[in-house]
Amino acid sequence: MFWNRRELVCQEVVELVTEYLENRLPRAQRRRFEAHLADCEHCTEYLAQMRVTIRLTGRLRSEDLTPQMREDLTALYRRWREQED
Amino acid sequence: MSLHNHLLSGLLPAALNAIYVAGAVRWRAGGHELVDPDDELLQALRRGEEAAFLTLVGRHQGMLLRIARSFVSSPAIAEEVVQDTWLGVLRGIDGFAGRSTFRTWLLRILVNRARTTGVIEDRSVAIGDAAPVIDASRFDASGAWASPPQHWVEDVDDRLLAESLAERIDTALAELPVRQREVVMLRDVDGLSSQEVCDALGISEGNQRVLLHRGRSRLREALEMELGGVG
């Protein structure tokens, strides 16, 4: 593959960011990725921005139970308890 | 920051996820013992505490609905599948031995219920075009940044700004193609591991990663636009 022969360019790095964060880059490619970062402040910033994005997304809360769902599931629970007893 | 620190900070959530699905009541990670976060609620549920049931429901309902909706187009049927899943939990709770986390067990019940309802629709994932996540015009002919990202990561630590940015992300999420949105939400909001997402949505690891990559890249772009960062 091409990355075995030459250094990565920025345009390739941005496409590999997720594989890098997921720890799915083959070792040689990971080395090239990190070598590029060490020399490229823009891609270092880009990677940092992806991490910030993930962190901010993680602050979102999953949707809350609607009152109707809560009611339905309470009823479900009580019916089940009655059958159990 | 050294590259090493960089790596650690980025990998931590993924590492924790790997621990979460490892499949035992207690998991070891770097010498620390972790307990299934739902364990106490499960014990209370076994004692017959209704409140524990509703707390568990509140904790997982969003995730279950998201997955159920990915299987069926009707929101009403998705809700039925989820209700049926909770009934499965109640019936099976005494037999649940804790060999996996509660969440993994719960996801398995949901997927089985969705299958047996016979309403599972086409699960093939349209990955979409192979267009780059960053417009080619931002690079020069050699592939180096011509219009590099501006520096704004530290600004995000500002509390108020972070709040408004979270809203911006919420909006951007809603605008993502549905498959990307599902994967990004399950991974980054609900905190599922890639394996859990693949199992729950019935997609391959490669597909999961492509969807995650495209979705996250779009969210970053939304932040960049908000922060005026295109130089």
State whether residue B29 is helix, strand or coil.
Answer: strand
Q: Locate the chain B residue with the closest alpha carbon to A56.
A: B166
A5 has pLDDT over 90: no
B28 has pLDDT over 70: no
Q: What is the pLDDT of residue B118?
A: 57
Please state, rounded to an integer, the average pLDDT across all residues of chain B.
80
Please name the residues between 3 and 32 in chain A that touch chain B, using a CB distance below 8 Å: 9-12, 14-15, 17-19, 21-24
B45 has pLDDT over 70: yes
Closest residue by Cα to residue B6 from A19, A14, A21: A21
Q: What is the pLDDT of residue B150?
A: 92
Mean pLDDT of B68-75: 80
Query: Which pair of structure tokens corresponds to residue A41?
Result: 């402040």
pLDDT band at B97 (very low <50, low <70, confident <90, very high): confident
B22 has pLDDT over 50: no
A53 has pLDDT over 90: yes
- The CA–CA distances, whole Å, from B80 to B108, B110, B121 equal 16, 11, 16
Label residues B27-61 b or e (16+ Cβ within 10 Å = b).
beeeeeebebebeebbebbeeeeeebbbbbbebbb
Look at B153 and A76 and tell me if their CB atoms are within 8 Å.
no
Asked whether the CA dihedral B22, B28, B30, B34 is positive or negative, the reply is positive
Q: What is the pLDDT of residue B121?
A: 52
Mean pLDDT of B190-200: 90
Q: What is the pLDDT of residue A4?
A: 52
Mean pLDDT of B123-142: 78
Residues of A in contact with B65 (CB under 8 A): 63
Please name the residues between 39 and 78 in chain A that touch chain B, using a CB distance below 8 Å: 42-43, 45-54, 56-65, 69-70, 72-74, 76-78
Return the amino acid letter for A76.
L
Q: What is the pLDDT of residue A74?
A: 96
Higher pLDDT, B130 or B147: B147
Q: Calculate what percentage of chain B has a pLDDT beyond 90.
A: 47
pTM for the complete prediction? 0.77
Mean pLDDT of B175-201: 90
What is the rounded end-to-end Cα distance, in angstroms, of chain A?
66
Q: How many CA atoms within 13 Å lie on the side-chain side of B55?
A: 13
Q: What is the pLDDT of residue B15?
A: 39
* Min Cα separation A26/chain B (Å): 14
pLDDT band at B156 (very low <50, low <70, confident <90, very high): confident
Q: What is the pLDDT of residue B115?
A: 74
Mean pLDDT of A49-70: 89
Look at B149 and A45 and tell me if their CB atoms are within 8 Å.
yes
